[in-house]
Amino acid sequence: MKIILVNVNTSESMTEVIAAGARKYASPGTETVALRPFFGPEAVDCNFESYLSAVGVMDRVLAYDEPYDAVVLAGFGEHGRDGLQELIEQPVIEICEASAYAAMLVARSYSVVTTLQRSVPAIEDRLKLAGVSDRCASVRASGMSTLELDADPRGAIRGIVEEARIAVTQDHAEAICLGCAGMAGLEEAITSELGVPVIDGIGAAVRLAEAVVGLGLKTSKVSTYAAPDPKVITGWPLTPKNTRLRNGAG
């Protein structure tokens, strides 16, 4: 089985963090490949950057010319998942939903600890759209931007732990979801500090992708995620392989 993981930003160092997280949780025999967009923002902290990254992510997946079985989108609640599902038949797993699904299997309620406060509404919206918001106790921000987290992930632990502590003691969360792909690898430190399950979205998404592929499932094309009708796309800096979109996807 081969799973490709796509960082939603263009940071090489964060892509390496994602790659390490995927290798840590992948089952024996599962190959994981971490990619980053050819163009887009160096970090995603707002809606503008999220929509911009969505185009870069879809372009990067379509430009990948080797066989694969599933895609993990390594952006917590970022845009683009639904569009990518229209373009490919392989399962597309997004780390925000994956971490919530995993949390609900081991706890009655969960909280998300993310980066900036302005990222909170987007995560709340994604959880609501996924139908998993009823058991979300809170979405809390550590106050550290994605760039700051990328530059010093270990230095971010204190702020993340403190927000997680408030989520457990005040919001009554029974599990914590790490709300950024760049937080991969911090789960053990938080678990030892607070004694609650901590879910890394990368690990949850990789394992969920393995399960979906193992069941022989692919994305339904009967309606919502059917391929787009053939149209000329003007001005999108398409990677050469992606010019097939001018004649329809698939």
Look at residue 247 in the predicted model and tell me its pLDDT.
Answer: 40
Asked whether the predicted pLDDT for residue 137 surpasses 50, the reply is: yes
| CA–CA gap between residue 27 and residue 47 (Å, rounded) | 34
| CA–CA gap between residue 231 and residue 195 (Å, rounded) | 53
Look at residue 238 in the predicted model and tell me its pLDDT.
Answer: 65
Asked whether the predicted pLDDT for residue 249 surpasses 50, the reply is: no
Cα 168 versus chain centre, distance: 23
| CA–CA gap between residue 206 and residue 166 (Å, rounded) | 28
Residue ranges and CATH numbers for the domains of the chain are 2-94+205-247 (3.40.50.12500), 96-202 (3.40.50.12500)
Asked whether the predicted pLDDT for residue 168 surpasses 50, the reply is: yes
**Global pTM?**
0.90
Provide the pLDDT confidence category of residue 242 given band limits of 50, 70 and 90: low
